[in-house]
Amino acid sequence: MPGPSLQAAVSWLAAHPDEAPALEAPLHPSKLGTKQHWDEVSHRRVGPIREDQGEVWFGEDASDKMVEWVQEHVPQTDANLLDLGTGNGQLLFRLSEEGYTSLTGIDYSPSSIELAESILSSTTPDPKPSINFFVSDILSHDPDPRLTQKRWKVLLDKGTYDAICLSDEIDPKEGVRIGELYPTAVAGLLDEEGYFLITSCTLSLRRKDELFFLLRTADPFIAHGTSLTGNWTRAELETAFITPQTGLIFHSLVPRPSFSFGGSTGSSITTIAFQKKKTEA
């Protein structure tokens, strides 16, 4: 059971949801935002033993909720679906199980794509799912024709934006951190009236900085021994993605199970859908 100092800190944050710092305050860089980290993680899992297929970010339930959303709002099983930062491809495998046939997963980590392809070839029954995996980076200034020659009905993101925003890499052309380029890159791939479905942690890193401060004040041991991960609140996601440059609008919020802790109620992750506005004639 969490100690009283942790309970007090989390309760205070939950009771002050509107006091997060502005978006202009950048996230602190982390190794989770580096290509080297994901190459190393995936490389360790590519081998003769396939039982270890890699971690499922945010758990199976988050994937299930995303799949259910797609089934409800995009029932056409031949619609073009693109998973950004696909990792081990788990989300696409789930969609394939539900009958979706035009599935593509990309990742900037070659080891991640190798892992996804190895899982596809070794653990799926015949006929194998129609999933196309390949290495690509949507933030590259050299457009990938495999991405740009299609218009995507749905773009999926389960933790990818979180990871990108933890990178301290500066785009040499724009002079900003690469996470700032992600929303417009996403919107540029979407078909007219297409959807961007993203799952992200609810507690932002800036909020967690406050939590660490409170914890450190109350109990330095707990502060240094507590692992906190996650990025964006719902409001921050809307601010980042709903802009004149993206042409995205809010579509829907996927209901999430809530939890109660320290007298407050909330959800640990947010799944939200945006839609690209139809071009006016």
The CATH number covering residue 263 comes to 3.40.50.150
Q: Which of 36-50, 123-137, 176-190: highest mean pLDDT? A: 176-190
Cα–Cα distance between 152 and 100 in angstroms, integer?
Answer: 14
Q: Give, in order, the Cα–Cα distances in Å from 87 to each of 41, 81, 133, 204, 273.
A: 10, 15, 10, 22, 21
- Give me the pLDDT at residue 115, please: 93
If one counts the domains in the chain, the total is 1
Give the percent of the chain with pLDDT over 70: 62
In a domain, 24, yes or no: no
Residue 92 lies in a domain: yes
Which are the contacts of 48, defined by CB distance < 8 A and separation ≥ 6?
none
Domain assignment present for residue 209? The answer is no
pLDDT for 208: 45
- The mean per-residue pLDDT over the stretch 190-209 comes to 75
Answer whether residue 215 is part of any domain: no
The reply to whether 118 falls in a domain is yes
Q: Is residue 149 part of a domain?
A: yes
Distances (CA, A) of 120 to 39, 40, 90: 18, 20, 10
Q: Which of 13-17, 36-40, 75-79 has the highest mean pLDDT?
A: 75-79
Interhelix angle 234-241/182-189, nearest 10 degrees? 70
User: Is 10 inside a domain boundary?
Assistant: no
Assigned domain for 66 exists: yes
Residue 279: band (very low, low, confident or very high) from pLDDT cuts 50, 70, 90: confident
Domain hosting 101: range is 29-46+54-201+232-276
Q: Where are the alpha helices (DSSP H) in 138-231?
A: 145-148, 160-164, 182-189, 205-218, 220-225
Q: What percent of the chain has a predicted confidence (pLDDT) above 90?
A: 50
Per residue in 210-233, pLDDT (tens digit) is 444 443 444 443 333 333 334 467
